[in-house]
Structure 1
Amino acid sequence: MYRFLLGAAIAATATSAFAADAVAPIVMDQELARPHISGYVEAYLGGLYLSSDFGHENATTAGGAGRVNFPIDSRWNIQADAIVDSLWVQGDNLYGYGGAVHGYWRDPSAYALGGFATLNGYGGDFGGPKIYNFTVGPEAQVYMGNVTLYGQVYYGQLRASGESEHLDNWGGRAVVRYFAQDNLRFDGELGYSTISLGGEHLNTVSGALQAMYRFSGTPFSMFGRYQIDHLSVAGQSENIHKYVVGLRASFGSDTLLDEDRNGATMDTYRPNIILPFGG
């Protein structure tokens, strides 16, 4: 039987989209907009399928996130995130929870540049010591009309309470956000991370596709996301597929594109799982 710890995945991160012929004037309005507090909360429900050298497993998953952006002035911003993810497999509940802080300089018509730090904990019915990890690193976004390019790299450590040893974690991700309309966004994402396990390394290659639509004149958006994580270590591998649908409620923004260029635009990678446990 599999009992594995989920550091969780998904949670659509959204923004709106733009028709190409409408991009220029609206971006100009966004640049002149007065900075103000904005953000969103979202929740999702879905399923997870694990396929490994040892067999297969299905699970139900749910979770959510909240993000708030605080402008310091017309260019400097601080964003705070909170997340929770939960997994139910063979009667056991496993969960991840935590948050992130981003500090960055942003020109809504050109780019954003800054850094971030995360802290996450993991627990559930598997017993044993509490496990947590942190990451820090730089991040940047480039705005090109109705396309946003987003990149992050990070270093972190995975630790267990009461233990002096730790596992080093390096990784990065690249995201493309395409706005087909002002309230319709499509995402593509690729990522890689490695965790040092003594003389071995747990390597993860991830990919995700996401679509989000915001109902015009309302704060509500719907999204769907698929993510796959391919894990490999010591000649063994497994694939973890995650499918979710969710609902977002935004405040302080008029459209998804407005949210992307002037609001809570940053996020962080949330893996489908972190560590496999046998027993």
Structure 2
Amino acid sequence: MKVTLLATAAAAVLFAAAPAMADEVVAHVDAGYSLHNWDFEDGDSADNTDLSLGGGFATTFDNGLMLQGDGRLNHYTWDGDEESNSFGYAAVHLATRNDQYAFGAFAGELGYYNNSGLMGGVEGQVFLERATLSGSLGYAQVDDWFADVKGWSGQAAAKYFVNDNFSVDAAVGYGDWDAWSEFNNWNASVTGEYKFAGSPASVYAGYRHDENSYDDDDGIAIDTFTVGVRLAFGAETLRDRDRHGASLAGAKAMADDFVHYY
């Protein structure tokens, strides 16, 4: 995969622009474990596991322009299969961000079963006192050895801060894709995260449900349970990281759809 190319480009832009930065870089790295259960309408089912490693950074310039880079690599293994598959993405985001809102665009690369493709879209956030509302809409195309995959997806989410170091968020999404057949995907998820005071570490856990409908086959329902740990740098609290870190999630939302579509 070539997902490191955009991450390298983002780092180069960040280095070149460093003298004009108003704020320090806020960054994070995380590692997660997911269990996916696939239920088919004919009664069959299958399980697979997913180990992921990801991260991101963000900074804001004097003129209010915000730069974000983020990416992730997934190591995907079906039960009973000794071989694993790779998914991943790397993306850069440019947005205007202030204390009330953020709005911008993203572009990136997807790695999917050792194939690669491009994605892009728009995204935004609204910052309230104890909550963040966000949304994104994007398009992706991956050249697959079996069938080119292309389509669009959108997501809307709301995150509530119980306190500055404990957040709960819910998201809903929809995608329309064209591959070996046309299909659509509905998904909904809920995630909680807790940061240990005085430490860069936080833990998170989440649940996601997907409904995939195909025009030439039965539908598939997917239940995903995820746990993980995250280390953040440059932000003292979860709320601070949300307002100043790599919190624009348009690229991540599209990558998540690819993980859950096949």
In structure 1, what is the equivalent of residue 198 of structure 2? 217
What's the offset of the Cα at 1:217?
1.0
Superposition RMSD in Å: 1.8
Q: In the aligned structure 1, how far is the partner of 2:62 from the partner of 2:182?
A: 43
The answer to whether 1:120 aligns with 2:110 is yes
**What is the 5 A alignment of 1:1-279?**
35-54=23-42, 55-73=44-62, 75-89=64-78, 90-91=80-81, 92-108=83-99, 110-123=100-113, 130-160=114-144, 166-197=148-179, 200-234=181-215, 235-267=217-249, 268-269=252-253, 270-271=256-257, 272-275=259-262
Normalised by the size of structure 1, how large is the TM-score? 0.78
Q: 1:145 to 1:249 in 2, by over 3 A?
A: same
Spell out, residue by residue over 1:16-72, the C-alpha distance to the aligned partner (whole angstroms, 9 max, x if none): xxxxxxxxxxxxxxxxxx511111000011311110124101122210211011322
| Structure number with higher helix proportion | 2
Q: Write the distance in 1 (CA, Å) between the matches of 2:201 and 2:150.
A: 39
Distance 1:258 1:63 in 2: 24
Give the drift of 1:132. 2.4
Identity of aligned pairs, percent? Answer: 25
User: 5+ unaligned residues in a row in structure 1: which ranges?
Assistant: 1-33, 124-129
CA shift for structure 1 position 168: 2.8
SS at match of 2:219: strand
C-alpha distance in 1, partners of 2:149/2:166?
40
Count of residue pairs brought into register by the alignment:
232
User: In the TM superposition, what whole-angstrom CA distance separates every residue of 1:178-211 from its partner, at most 9, and x where no partner exists?
Assistant: 001010000100001111247x521011111000
Asked whether the 8 Å contact 1:134–1:157 carries over to 2, the reply is: yes
* Larger RCO (CA within 8 A; separation ≥ 6): 1
The match for 2:8 is none
